[in-house]
Amino acid sequence: MTRSQLIALIKERKSFLCVGLDTDLTKIPAKFLETEDPIFEFNKAIIDATADYCVAYKPNLAFYECHGAKGWESLEKTIAYIGDTHFTIADAKRGDIGNTSSYYAKTFFEVLGCDSVTIAPYMGKDSVEPFLKFDGKWAILLALTSNEGAVDFQFQSIAPGSERLYEKVLKLSQSWGNTGNLMYVVGATRPEMLSSIRQIIPDHFLLVPGVGAQGGSLTEVCKYGLTPDVGLLINASRSIIYAGAQESNFETHVEKAAAELQSEMAQILTERGIC
Amino acid sequence: MTRSQLIALIKERKSFLCVGLDTDLTKIPAKFLETEDPIFEFNKAIIDATADYCVAYKPNLAFYECHGAKGWESLEKTIAYIGDTHFTIADAKRGDIGNTSSYYAKTFFEVLGCDSVTIAPYMGKDSVEPFLKFDGKWAILLALTSNEGAVDFQFQSIAPGSERLYEKVLKLSQSWGNTGNLMYVVGATRPEMLSSIRQIIPDHFLLVPGVGAQGGSLTEVCKYGLTPDVGLLINASRSIIYAGAQESNFETHVEKAAAELQSEMAQILTERGIC
């Protein structure tokens, strides 16, 4: 999916919501456990309940790999079921020497058919570039993550001066790709930093995890991160997919949780005159 | 496999060689392509030819994932075939928020049954710790990698002072684990840096890729990196597994390539009075 197609989709649905498919067999409603492929059947129900309210789905690879080959089959079926009506993000946090990264790019873009994959920047330019060579496909580079450990390295100041590592990542990587094939992960748990981040990358899309279960605020993120082209994909996982997991009509709770976030987003887009 | 078991294995075989299973269908001998599971059959032949000369095997996940669920099956069969006679390394370069890293740890240690997994440090402490909670299992943290892009971030100086990011990773992460559950990746293409690295981590095992096809020198790496407990696992992938791939008796070439490295290692271990 190209940048212009993604922006058109966001404006059409008045939503920049990404639903995270962190599908955990210990948390999904019991009725799915009786099916042949509980992960896929649960995802299918989630997708059916939320498709009108979101523009992207983000399966977290760890939750599929932990079931081995069977988990990969569930993932393949999920990506195929989503089809081309939504932007798909393989949240895989890959990154290796160039030759190896080429195989990861092939895996996620050609074999699985995802639109994008999350990448860890530690190994530098040649570990990221293979992901930037596919038309309409995206690398989503980790910049500032939403977890506690982000302070360990990402916040370290790079000498000389006081530029932080995540700022160095943002600056240096811009020359590797462009606003049509490179996004960044910036956690919602640190919205106040979005203001300075937008000075470095005014136009790139940001994938923002951490709204919902991790405590990030949609309003705060939009205040600092929204651009005239929207420029944000806000991810919510647990707060949507496990809404009402203990209830018999769990799909209604899931739909409600997604619809509420979409409604807030529509209001923000209107207030900002974007659509 | 515990640290003492690993050291005993190295002394018994007089080898600290790790064979990288970067199994690429475009490079393996044609005879395997006719089998039902070419990747596994090729790996089996490689393992049979090299088992006496090495102490570890390191499948590179990208080469398996690019075949989807079928690739994971080949990987599962390969790990099972290796059994407990060798140390197994899932070269996966994972790392995510704590909850997700727990699932990756479960995947590689419990589902696949590997002894260790490579981890990218960018997300900090809580992304690594879940891998340190399994008896006899190891996290192998990227410190200084063998690729060109290593200079982009790993070589950046952290203010104040001139400590580099990879040195910060080495120093800070030591408190997360110990010499019995934490190793580091240090590329053979920069052996002169091993001297200062050994001042920071005198006893930790290092996984050293880059000998062979990438041009690193075994002698140089041992000069600076070897410890009284050996402390090194030297990986060679392409230079062993594709030795003589065009020949009818390719197994003989593979065995010879592994035996030559083992012989050099045995000599170094004797010269240093280790065994």
**pLDDT at residue B178, as a whole number:** 98
**What ipTM goes with this model?**
0.96
Angle at A116 between CA A199 and CA A127, to 5 degrees: 75
Which 3 state secondary structure label does DSSP give B226?
coil
CB contact under 8 A, A96 and B94: no
Residue B214 pLDDT > 80: no
pTM of the shown model: 0.97
A94 Cβ under 8 Å from any chain B Cβ = yes
Residue B264 pLDDT > 80: yes
B162 Cβ under 8 Å from any chain A Cβ = yes
The closest CB to that of B121, out of A62, A122, A147, belongs to A122
Test mutation, A22, A93, A108, A158, chain B, max B CBs within 10 A: A93
The Cα B111–Cα A76 span in angstroms is 19
What does each C-alpha distance from A196 to A95, A173, A192 come to in angstroms? 26, 17, 8
**Across A245-269, average pLDDT:** 94
pLDDT digits over B124-149, tens only?
999 999 999 999 999 999 999 989 99
pLDDT digits over B227-259, tens only?
999 999 999 999 999 998 788 899 999 999 999
- Across the A:B interface, residue pairs with CB atoms under 8 Å apart total 193
The closest CB to that of B122, out of A63, A65, A121, belongs to A121
The Cα B41–Cα A107 span in angstroms is 21
**pLDDT at residue B160, as a whole number:** 85
Which H or E run includes B52? none
**pLDDT at residue B216, as a whole number:** 79
pLDDT digits over B62-106, tens only?
999 999 999 999 999 999 999 999 999 999 999 999 999 999 999
The closest CB to that of A95, out of B71, B120, B156, belongs to B120
A107 Cβ under 8 Å from any chain B Cβ = yes
> What 3 state SS string does chain A have?
CCHHHHHHHHHHHCCCEEEEECCCCCCCCHHHHCCCCHHHHHHHHHHHHHCCCCCEEEEECHHHHCCHHHHHHHHHHHHHHHCCCCEEEEEEEECCCHHHHHHHHHHHHHHCCCCEEEECCCCCHHHHHHHHCCCCCEEEEEEECCCCCHHHHCCCEECCCCEEHHHHHHHHHCCCCCCCCEEEEECCCCHHHHHHHHHHCCCCCEEECCECCCCECHHHHHHHHCECCECEEEEECHHHHCCCCCCCCHHHHHHHHHHHHHHHHHHHHHHCCCC
Contact map slice: B 207-266 vs A, CB within 8 A = none
